[in-house]
Amino acid sequence: MFYFQNTGEQKIILDEEESIHAIRVLRLKENDEVHLIDGIGGLFKAKISNAHPKKCEVQIEEKIEIYKRKYYKHIAIAPPKSIDRFEWFLEKATEIGVDEITPLLTDRSERKNLNVERLEKILTSTMKQCIQPFRPKLNPLMRYSDFISQHTKGYIAHLETGEEELLQKIYQPGNDCLILIGPEGDFSPAEVVLAKQNGYTSISLGHSRLRVETAGLAACHTITVVNND
């Protein structure tokens, strides 16, 4: 499976990294069949027309029809201190299916920087390995207050005691959804109040106390299950 940026052309030149993998690692030759994925829902059958090790040229022969979700899933999450745990979340959320991920910088965030280029490569690699035709949109790290001002309405998972309903009980299948997941130590009380003032509904992800990346994945998977995807 090879990733390419779809420009609508039938003849494609793979980038250097994909070309090296195809020709030097897999030792593919001209007329060998390959599969391409564009990250925006396109899955294609193609044949190698020029087995150049740095500019491999392929000819698209057939587009494969795939299932497309009818709703949009956005997870806004404060990355944990351990980058390995956040990378794990990105991998698993991509496998399950998520449309957009926004890392949040909150009052209690311990991680305040990200190597976006590396994270983008992880998303692409996971998408190819799982034949997941949609590559999630990864936004830059964003201050929580700025995010809330630009994105009103959604769900917020937090640890304050109250009468929060389980996500699967209040989410309506087929609807777009935005879910906020806090950092280690949870959102601050002021952040919870700000979200509620901007139309967010408090939710529970169950009785267990979850780590950040687990909570993000649980929310993502819950929406998938409720929609029978």
Scan for tokens 């309903």, then name that residue.
Answer: 165
* Three-class DSSP labels, 159-212: CCCCCCEEHHHHCCCCCCEEEEECCCCCCCHHHHHHHHHCCEEEEECCCCCCCH
Mean pLDDT of 81-88: 95
Scan for tokens 């979700």, then name that residue.
Answer: 69
Sign of CA dihedral 179, 185, 190, 192: positive
Q: What is the pLDDT of residue 1?
A: 85
Tokens for 123? 């998303």
Q: What is the pLDDT of residue 72?
A: 94
Tokens for 56? 């491999």
Round the CA-based radius of gyration of the chain to a whole number and report it: 20
pLDDT at position 196 over 80 = yes
Q: Where are the alpha helices (DSSP H) in the chain?
A: 16-20, 83-96, 116-129, 144-150, 167-170, 189-197, 212-226
pLDDT averaged over the chain? Answer: 91
* Angle 75-76-77 from CA coordinates, rounded to 5°: 110
Q: How confident is the model at residue 68 (pLDDT cuts 50, 70, 90)?
A: confident
**Cα–Cα distance, 50 to 56 (Å, whole number):** 6
Reading phi first (left if > 0) and then psi (alpha if -120 to 50, else beta), residue 205 is in: alpha
Mean pLDDT of 149-165: 85
What percentage of the chain has pLDDT greater than the value 90? 73
Q: How confident is the model at residue 163 (pLDDT cuts 50, 70, 90)?
A: low
Q: What is the pLDDT of residue 174?
A: 92
At 88-123, the pLDDT tens digits run: 999 999 999 999 999 999 999 999 899 999 999 999
Q: What is the pLDDT of residue 171?
A: 94
**Is residue 1 within 8 Å of 131, Cβ to Cβ?**
yes
| DSSP label at residue 146 | H
